[in-house]
Amino acid sequence: MKEQIEENIMKTIFKILFVTGFLSFFAQNAKAEDSLNPCWDMVLPHDPDHGFYNPDSVLYDTCLCKVKPWLPPYCEYMYAKQWFGIDLPNGALNIPQAPRDSIILRNWRDIDSSFTDMRAGFENLENVFGNFVFKKVYPDIIDTEKIASRYFNLRFDNYVKIDSASYLLHQIPDIKTEGYLGRYDFIKSVNDSNDDKLNNFNIIPNPCNDYIQIHLDERFINNDNIQIITLQGILIFNEKISELNVKGDITLNTSKFSNGIYFINYENIIQLLIVLH
């Protein structure tokens, strides 16, 4: 197993080096076709075969950003429609259980009327940025003891400035939010197999700040270790599932992690984690 992990990590490092050399070329040739602002351009093209991941067509302002938005100093003029992560309190949106692959969308007007301040906050968000919907992330989880049962992704109809929308979300009473979920990357997944396990091994939020929640489908949980490894190959976290005392949801504190890229390994399935404080 150790050899396989090392091989997967080396594959990823190679892809980082490979992609960096061609990043400028691809970015210059990936234009946002539906943008009215001529300064807006794709952060990255969506070209998974070559290691570029931008399925939500995230944009940045080339006229105001002096460097590429993933390089320090990080550019604040970035725009997206989806997804912004929110954790609603119990009882705010009561949705029946459905299969995992169901697409369940709701409007803020569907929030229980007893959450007056929360509804007013979402109404203000709509007044500023236009229409949006909530999408339930895990329709099959209804156990209110699990945070995954209350986790929704928010999608706007129009492009919004990411930090401005995140700021307003943080002002809404009674919800928890990590703001924009950062669904763009220039590293292709290192997992070429085990797709079923990979699809049920989720990290929220990613990029992260103070914490992450790892959701594992209960079908795949055993007593193997969760490991976190730095880009330099240093093992900084290594705990057995049984010692974490969880049943599918693992919350880890990342507040002391340095900014950068990490590998999270479970059963030889490796996910990438980006930490940005």
User: What is the mean pLDDT, run by run of 10 residues, along the chain of 277 residues?
Assistant: 58 44 35 60 71 77 72 70 90 90 93 94 94 93 83 93 90 86 54 49 82 73 76 80 65 87 78 81
Domain boundaries, the chain: 2-75, 84-180, 195-275
Tokens of 214: 């790892």
- Contact between 272 and 182 under an 8 Å Cβ cutoff? The reply is no
Q: What is the pLDDT of residue 153?
A: 92
Reference 135, options 89, 83, 177; nearest CA is 83
Q: Which residues contact 109 (CB under 8 A, 6 or more apart)?
A: 119
| Strand pairing report for 78-80 and 84-87 | unpaired
Contact predicate 59/32, CB 8 Å:
yes
Assigned token pair, 122: 């979402």
Q: Which of 259, 232, 192, 257 is nearest to 13 (CA)?
A: 232
Q: What is the pLDDT of residues 43-84, one digit of tens each?
A: 777 766 655 677 888 888 888 876 665 554 567 788 899 889
- CA–CA dist 154, 152 (Å, integer): 7
Q: For the whole model, what pTM was predicted?
A: 0.56
**Alpha-carbon gap, residue 165 to 111, rounded angstroms:** 20
- Is domain 195-275 in CATH 2.60.40.3080, yes or no? yes
Which residue bears the tokens 């949106």? 93
Tokens of 208: 């992260």
pLDDT of residue 217: 64
Segment (H or E) for 84: strand 84-87
Strand partners for 201 = 216
| Residues 6 or more apart whose Cβ sits within 8 Å of residue 92 | 111, 112, 115, 118, 150, 174
| CA 22 – CA 35 distance, rounded (Å) | 24
